[in-house]
Amino acid sequence: MARSALLNVMVQAAMKAGRSLSRDFGEVQNLQVSMKGPGDYVSQADRKAEDILFTELSKARPGYAFLMEERGAVAGDDGQHRWLVDPLDGTTNFLHGIPLFAISIALERQGQIVAGVVYNPAMDELYTAERGGGAFMNDRRLRVAGRTKLTDAVIGCGVPHLGRGQHGNFLVELRNVMAEVSGVRRLGSASLDLAYVAAGRMDGFWEVGLSAWDIAAGLLLIREAGGFVSDFAGGQEMLEGGSVVAGNEVIQRALLKTVKKPVTPR
């Protein structure tokens, strides 16, 4: 697969930050299990990876703005381009030695996501997409799964936890979905969830309360793999509102309808 100069910049930055995360991931399991020790260590790994991404992307494309998990918004002189970057999506997995975490980089041009990279360094899986150019995993072309019945589908989701999310609302959504599908999965990394939908590993995905840097690259991956995405209202305000429902055309539509319906009393 021939990559554009832009995508090469993004891939090289992700790979460099990925090497840093891989080294830290190899050490995290040796740390004393306490809130202060591992928590601080993971934060340092996160910040170190973000520093690498910021430096590499700024050097390659001076003047582009940033929206990053740690730094927040960083203004640029360009005015038309913005990087959306999550240096470590799946921090809890990383902390516990679970190899499901990723670097996510997307480029927004005049309000549209035009390129995206999701990289899992623990498994050396690199997902890339450019608008109009298709989606790939390690140079293999991706297509969303072709299943058209929820009863045959495996659906991914995010699960709210201590101090985050609307637990009651999620339990309603989960009860609705689990009654209709073949299986439900929770990976713990939204960018990988979306990449797995693009790769056909999962048939669909839903979650609320996400940040733009979590999902921007993954949304493009799904679209370029032939899939469909919307927010919970059926619109296209995913980056602004933080809700996502994804799948192929039929599954996405059916999943959106399912998560929004009220629970039937039993």
Average pLDDT over residues 21-37: 67
Q: Helix, strand, or coil here: 125?
A: strand
150-260 has which fold?
A: D-Maltodextrin-Binding Protein; domain 2 (3.40.190)
Whether the Cβ atoms of residue 133 and residue 2 lie closer than 8 Å to each other: no
Q: To which CATH superfamily is domain 5-141 assigned?
A: Fructose-1,6-Bisphosphatase, subunit A, domain 1 (3.30.540.10)
Quick one: pLDDT at residue 34? 41
Q: 77 among the known binding-site residues?
A: no
Which pLDDT score, from 0 to 100, does residue 262 have? 75
243 within 8 A of 210, measured Cβ to Cβ: yes
With CA atoms as reference, report the closest residue to 129 among 100, 107, 147.
107
Q: Is the pLDDT of residue 232 over 70?
A: yes
pLDDT digits (tens, 9 = 90+) for 113-170: 999 999 999 999 999 999 999 999 998 999 999 999 999 999 999 998 887 778 888 9
> What does the pLDDT average to over 25-48?
66
Residue 176 is which amino acid?
Answer: N
Average pLDDT of the chain, as a whole number: 92
Write the burial class of residue 117 (CB in 10 Å: 0-12 exposed, 13-18 middle, 19+ buried).
buried
More confident site: 200 or 92: 200
Nearest Cα to Cα of residue 88 among 60, 51, 55, 58? 51
pLDDT at 37: 47
pLDDT at 263: 58
User: Higher confidence at residue 29 or residue 76?
Assistant: 76
Region 197-222: mean pLDDT is 97
* Full 3-state SS string of 203-242: CEEEECCCCHHHHHHHHHHHHHCCCEEECCCCCCCHHHHC
pLDDT attached to residue 217 = 98
The residue ranges of every structural domain in the chain are 5-141, 150-260
Has 69 been labeled as part of a binding site?
yes
* CA dihedral sign, ordered 181, 184, 190, 191: negative
**Is 124 annotated as belonging to a binding site?**
no
pLDDT classification of 40: cutoffs 50, 70, 90: low
C-alpha triplet 205, 206, 207: angle, nearest 5°: 135
Identify the band that residue 44 occupies on the pLDDT scale cut at 50, 70 and 90: confident
Structure confidence at residue 33 (pLDDT): 40
For the record, the structure tokens of 125 come out as 């899986």
Task: Dump pLDDT digits (tens) for 55-102.
Answer: 999 999 999 999 998 889 999 999 899 999 999 999 989 988 899 999
Nearest to 128 by CA among 15, 249, 251, 242: 15
Other Cβ atoms closer than 10 A to 37 = 12
Q: Are the C-beta atoms of 130 and 6 separated by less than 8 Å?
A: yes
Q: Is 224 labelled as part of a ligand binding site?
A: no
Helix H segments across 29-70? 36-60
Write down the pTM of the prediction: 0.93
More confident call, 162 vs 54: 54
Residue 28 — very low, low, confident or very high, per pLDDT cuts 50/70/90? Answer: confident
